[in-house]
Homo-oligomer: A and B are copies of this chain.
Amino acid sequence: MASSWGEQLNITLFGESHGPAVGVVVDGVPAGERLDLEAMQDFVARRAPGRTPWSTARTEGDAFTILSGVYQGQTTGTPLCIVIENRDARSQDYDERLKLPRPSHADYTGTVRFDGAADPRGGGHFSGRLTAPLCAAGAICKQMLKRRSVEIFARIAELGGVSDITLDIANPNIEELQTLAAKDLPVLDDGKKEEMVELVERVRLQGDSLGGVVQCIVLGLPAGLGDPIFGGVESRLASLLYGIPAVKGVSFGDGFAACRRRGSENNDPLYISAEDQVRTATNHEGGINGGITNAMPLVFQVGIKPTPSIALPQRSVNLETMLSETITVAGRHDPAIVPRAVVAVEAAAAIAIMDLMLVAFGVQGWGGKSHGRA
């Protein structure tokens, strides 16, 4: 089904941007996992609006309620339903939206897809708001993975064409990566941060928007995760990542740059590490060969297009009169969604890795409670 994802760890997203609530059912969570609700809330809050340097006011993060699957602070092994209420359901005339679709939004395609019956308010089920429950599900996976020494980091690699410094993806500095989550703009080079903030401000004043590239690094994975052909790590991750609105590209390791190199430049030579493990000297492949992890850092990039909501007038068509019209999208828009996409990408990575772990090892093999003695 379209709003579900996963084999052994399965999420089902529900809700519309301006309906009563958005939420997620997470099935397949191993039993007996203690949930750190505060850490969950912190993670979800990182995605919430109003955390970027260009925000005028800090908002509270989205509060969530867990309706099932938890008993005495621990997971029960049965589905968790997590609900996040929508507090800002607005009453503006959304029937206009149906008539005059915003360019490069899902307004027109959603109208066709659901034959005019889709909830048009704020993008409905197509809204970026659905990444809030994605992050709630991801937060649970993140903490279960961290307990088993798997850590996930993401940063803004590019914003509006401004690049953060290059990361050594064969030997990343973990302390440096660990500073990212606390930053209001998760980049490694704070000088680049200033440059990005200035650019965003300039573009915002012009009524325009920017896109960028998120890079994600996963440390601590064993070799052997993933399955051949369509069960490969790239297939699994990409199918989930493309569920995040505004994603237009996904690449692994050196990505498209690798396609311009020669084999002798791109192949990762094998060696025996100091810990007597098989490792590669470089990591052009991003930790994956033949769809299967090789115990090097898993690295991928996600391209985020510029926010289509801009203040500038644009050409659209009136679907009732079938005549051209100019649309000016009202309201305050985030001039760069990329910093919030960073959190959604981390969440998606956590969910995908957790699923791959459970597919590979089963609940018990992975270190979870399952099928024990009474």
A62 within 8 A of partner (CB): no
| B243 engages A114 (CB within 8 Å) | no
- Kindly provide the distance from the CB of A216 to the nearest chain B CB, expressed in whole angstroms: 14
| B319 engages A103 (CB within 8 Å) | no
Give which listed residue, B74, B106, B263, contacts A290 with CB less than 8 A.
B106
| A243 engages B232 (CB within 8 Å) | yes
| B259 engages A369 (CB within 8 Å) | no
How many chain-A residues does the 8 Å CB contact rule pick out? 164
A31 within 8 A of partner (CB): yes
Q: How far, in whole Å, are A107 and B312 apart by their CA atoms in the complex?
A: 53
Give which listed residue, B70, B111, B234, B369, contacts A115 with CB less than 8 A.
B369
A187 within 8 A of partner (CB): no
| A291 engages B106 (CB within 8 Å) | yes
Residue of B nearest to A247 (CB): B234
Give which listed residue, B229, B312, B361, contacts A264 with CB less than 8 A.
B312
| A264 engages B208 (CB within 8 Å) | yes
Q: Which one of A8-16, A50-58, A143-151 is at the B interface?
A: A8-16
Q: How far, in whole Å, are A191 and B228 apart by their CA atoms in the complex?
A: 38
Q: Cβ of A2: which chain B residues have Cβ within 8 Å of it?
A: 27, 227-232
A64 within 8 A of partner (CB): no
A186 within 8 A of partner (CB): no
A297 within 8 A of partner (CB): no
Q: Cβ of A358: which chain B residues have Cβ within 8 Å of it?
A: 362
Knowing A103-B268, A258-B305, A362-B361, the reply to whether A68 touches B290 (Cβ < 8 A) is: no
Q: How far, in whole Å, are A366 and B371 apart by their CA atoms in the complex?
A: 12
Q: How far, in whole Å, are A285 and B291 apart by their CA atoms in the complex?
A: 28
Q: How far, in whole Å, are A225 and B366 apart by their CA atoms in the complex?
A: 18
Q: Cβ of A365: which chain B residues have Cβ within 8 Å of it?
A: 361-362, 364-365
| B266 engages A81 (CB within 8 Å) | no
Q: How far, in whole Å, are A263 and B230 apart by their CA atoms in the complex?
A: 34
Knowing A14-B79, A272-B324, A315-B269, the reply to whether A108 touches B294 (Cβ < 8 A) is: yes
| A371 engages B19 (CB within 8 Å) | no
Contact with B along A344-374 (1 / 0, CB 8 A): 0000000000000010111111100111111
Residue of B nearest to A9 (CB): B1
| B209 engages A230 (CB within 8 Å) | no
Residue of B nearest to A366 (CB): B362
- Kindly provide the distance from the CB of A11 to the nearest chain B CB, expressed in whole angstroms: 9
Q: Cβ of A228: which chain B residues have Cβ within 8 Å of it?
A: 2-3, 78, 106, 110, 113, 125-126
Q: How far, in whole Å, are A19 and B32 apart by their CA atoms in the complex?
A: 16
- Kindly provide the distance from the CB of A121 to the nearest chain B CB, expressed in whole angstroms: 8
Q: How far, in whole Å, are A238 and B250 apart by their CA atoms in the complex?
A: 9
Give the one of A213, A251, A304 with max B CB within 10 A: A251
Give which listed residue, B16, B254, B363, contacts A71 with CB less than 8 A.
B16
Give the one of A70, A262, A284, A307 with max B CB within 10 A: A262
| B230 engages A289 (CB within 8 Å) | no
Knowing A118-B31, A118-B76, A289-B105, the reply to whether A303 touches B256 (Cβ < 8 A) is: yes
10 closest cross-chain pairs (CB), A and B: A362-B362, A106-B290, A2-B231, A115-B372, A2-B227, A249-B251, A209-B263, A109-B292, A269-B315, A115-B369
> What are 6 A-B contacts defined by CB distance under 8 Å?
A13-B79, A76-B124, A81-B83, A106-B290, A125-B228, A224-B372
